Structure 1
C-alpha cells in the first residue's frame, strides 16, 4: 500500500498564526498554572509571618531580591489577567458576544484592563495612594 504524498500537510507554527482569542485562551491557562505555583510562595510568606521575627526577617531578605519581586508582580498580573478573562467568560455565558470583531475587541480590553489593574496596584502599593 503506497502512501499518498499529495495530501496537504497540517498547518504548523511557521504557516499557521493563532488568532488573538487563541493566544488569550492559552495565556489564561498559563496564568492559572502560575497562580497555582504562586500559592506555594504565598504559603511560604504566611508561614514566615507565623514563624516569628527571625523567620520573617529571612523571608524579607529573600523576597527583596529582584527575581522574587519579579515573580511577585508576575503573580499579581496573572491574578488580574485570570480575573478579567473570567469576566469575559461570564459575558459568554449569557450567549452573546461571539462575533469575531467583538471577540477581538474584548480580548484587547481584557489585556488592557489586566495591565491597568496591575499598574494601579503597583502605584497603590509603592506610593500608598
Structure 2
C-alpha cells in the first residue's frame, strides 16, 4: 500500500479533485467522438447512419450519458475553481459545501438533459 494512503484521510474535496481529472480525460475522449461524428457526416449518408446507429445503441447511450455527466461536472468544478482563483471559498466548510454542490448540480443537470431528451423523442 502506498504510504500516502495512511497519511491522508479521505474527504470530499479529494474526491472532487480526482473526479475533475477523470472527467477531463473523458472529455478528451468526447472530443474524439465529436471528430468521428464530423468525419462520418462528411463521408456520406451511409457512414452517418452507421455512426448514429452506434451512438444509439445501448453502449453508445451509456457513453453519451457519461459524457454528459463529465461535461456538467467539469463545468461546475471549473466555476468552483474560478471562485478559488478569486481568493474565496477556502474555509473547510465552504470548500466541502462547494464540492457537494458540484456533485449535486452534476446529477441534477445530467438527469434534466436526459429527461428532456427522452420527452422530446431524441433517444
TM-score by length of 1: 0.84
- SS of 1:12's equivalent? helix
1:128 to 107, 120, 123: 120
1:28 maps to which residue?
20
Indicate the residue corresponding to 1:3 in structure 2. Answer: none
**Partner deviation per Cα, 1:40-70 (whole Å, 9 max, x = no partner):** 1111112112222111111122112211110
**Could you tell me the TM-score, scaled by structure 2's length?**
0.88
Q: Higher helix fraction: Structure 1 or Structure 2? A: 2
SS in 1 for 2:21: helix
Paired residue total: 120
Aligned residues: CA RMSD:
1.9
Alignment of 1:1-129 (within 5 A): 10-12=3-5, 16-128=8-120
Distance 1:128 1:107 in 2: 32
Structure 1: segments with no counterpart, 5+ residues? 1-8
**Unaligned residue ranges in structure 2 (runs of 5+):** none
Q: Secondary structure at the match of 1:123?
A: helix
Task: Give the drift of 1:16.
Answer: 4.7
Deviation for aligned residue 1:127: 1.2
Q: Distance in 1 between matches of 2:46 and 2:77?
A: 40
Counterpart Cα distance in 2 of 1:53 and 1:37? 24
